[in-house]
């Protein structure tokens, strides 16, 4: 007689799990009855979704409002070349259905916001943070604390990653570790700073392992510990994280008992499609069309590129290269009697440069809104981006 809750096909599929005393039939049946919400179907969400589906987690929710871009394919392995331009949730759901047709996949093609987060998260017993921006990261944390659900956290940048389990069994939450977000622009996005393609695979699989352990109630999970991974040195480190009794969310006398305006809390512009990826606006913005008009009219101006030399080698608008960190030492190379238009990749670093130059008395300085990415999209579609 086959075990209750598992079909003959599932019995064969999960044979290696059933052979583990820590899992067995009861554990696999528990996984089948489990539900997990993945916030983000990108770099971290890819290995998370694929391995949780393969493991037999019965219900997976996918939240993402983005479309697959060619630049995603270097690390977001749940999508393929055929999926460029398609919805990430739809693309991911198709891949997961192929990996394991016994898993129910719910798609939420929307931003995860203060107005819908509690409703979306309600049917799931565990939430996994696969986000790439601070407003959503704090939102996921507070949803987990308010609803009493574990938060399997992960983050990546360049060659480094972090993982932990927050809001679990009386342990700390994300705000115990990071009470306040960094100032806007202090931490470059992955689009600006880059990320090693295989890094989200490592961190995402660690998150998946932690989620399975929590669901099965086995092992020693990362609650109260922050795992730090450096891919360049191939080194794992660990630091202890204690629950803060004064934490405004999970503390002894919490002051935050409902979701707040996380965009305002993190000091970023209001959410829109692509929120968390757009760069801070400058009051001295110029649009790409404004730059094109100046070029077409052969106007006199200085085009200042504040990216790094290796970025300049990838593509450039033939401007003057002074990396942002060198600007305090080299700004004397710039004219004060000629208009200066500053650009970077996406507009964030150049906005900082414009503000700094104006603080030094440069009056005729402007920021190319959206950087060379916007130039490529709006003016010259043949111009390479990265």
Q: List residues with catalytic annotation.
A: 190, 344
Q: CA nearest 83: which of 64, 66, 70, 65?
A: 70
* Half-sphere exposure for 144 (CA within 13 Å, toward CB): 30
DSSP, res 336:
S
Q: CA nearest 72: which of 51, 86, 60?
A: 86
Measured between alpha carbons, how far is residue 372 from residues 75, 118, 291, 344 in Å?
A: 23, 38, 11, 7
- What does the alpha-carbon distance between residue 335 and residue 357 come to, in Å, rounded to a whole number? 11
Q: CA nearest 283: which of 355, 336, 373, 340?
A: 355
Measured between alpha carbons, how far is residue 24 from residues 111, 231, 246, 264 in Å?
A: 38, 34, 41, 47
Measured between alpha carbons, how far is residue 239 from residues 222, 228, 374 in Å?
A: 10, 8, 40
- Residue 82 DSSP SS3: helix
Q: What are the residues whose beta carbons fall under 8 Å from the beta carbon of 322, sequence distance 6 or more?
A: 304, 305, 306, 330, 331, 333, 334
- What does the alpha-carbon distance between residue 303 and residue 324 come to, in Å, rounded to a whole number? 14
Q: Is 56 left (phi over 0), alpha (psi -120 to 50) or beta?
A: left
**Phi first, then psi: what are they for 57, rounded to 5°?**
-65, 125
Q: Do the beta carbons of residue 222 and residue 164 sit within 8 Å?
A: yes
* Half-sphere exposure for 298 (CA within 13 Å, toward CB): 0
- Residue 346 DSSP SS3: coil
Measured between alpha carbons, how far is residue 187 from residues 132, 133, 194, 226 in Å?
A: 11, 10, 12, 19
For residues 276, 282, 286, 291, the Cα torsion angle rounded to the nearest 10 degrees is -80
């Amino acid at each position: 007689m086959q075990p209750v809750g598992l079909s003959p096909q599932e019995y064969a599929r999960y044979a290696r799990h059933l052979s583990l005393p820590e899992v067995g039939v009861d554990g696999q049946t528990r996984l089948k009855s489990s539900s997990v919400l993945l916030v983000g179907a990108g770099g971290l969400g890819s290995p998370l979704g694929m391995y949780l589906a393969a493991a037999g987690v019965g219900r997976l929710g996918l939240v993402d409002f983005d479309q697959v871009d060619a630049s995603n394919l270097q690390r977001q392995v749940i999508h393929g070349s055929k999926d460029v331009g398609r919805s990430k949730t739809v693309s991911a759901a198709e891949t997961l259905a192929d990996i394991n047709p016994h898993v129910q996949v719910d798609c939420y093609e929307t931003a995860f916001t203060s107005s819908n987060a509690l409703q979306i998260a309600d049917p799931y017993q565990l939430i996994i943070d696969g986000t790439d921006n601070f407003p959503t990261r704090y939102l996921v944390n507070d949803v987990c604390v308010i609803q009493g659900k574990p938060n399997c956290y992960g983050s990546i940048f360049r060659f480094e990653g972090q993982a932990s389990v927050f809001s679990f069994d009386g342990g700390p939450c994300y705000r115990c570790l990071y009470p306040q977000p960094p100032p806007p622009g202090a931490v470059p996005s992955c689009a600006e700073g880059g990320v090693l393609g295989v890094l989200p695979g490592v961190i995402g699989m660690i998150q998946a392992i932690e989620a399975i352990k929590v669901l099965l109630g086995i092992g020693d999970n990362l609650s109260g510990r922050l795992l730090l991974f450096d891919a360049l040195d191939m080194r794992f480190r660990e630091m202890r994280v204690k629950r803060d009794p004064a934490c405004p969310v999970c503390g002894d006398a919490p002051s935050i008992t409902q979701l707040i305006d996380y965009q305002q809390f993190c000091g970023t512009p209001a959410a829109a499609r692509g929120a968390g990826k757009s760069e801070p606006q400058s009051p001295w913005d110029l649009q790409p069309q404004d730059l094109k008009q100046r070029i077409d009219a052969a106007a006199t101006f200085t085009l200042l590129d504040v990216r790094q030399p290796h970025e300049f080698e990838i593509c450039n608008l033939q401007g003057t290269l002074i990396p942002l960190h060198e600007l305090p030492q080299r700004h004397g190379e710039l004219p004060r009697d000629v208009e200066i238009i500053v650009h970077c990749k996406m507009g964030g670093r150049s906005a900082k440069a414009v503000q700094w130059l104006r603080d030094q008395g440069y009056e005729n300085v402007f920021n190319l809104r959206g950087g060379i990415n916007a130039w490529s999209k709006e003016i010259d579609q043949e111009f390479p981006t990265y």
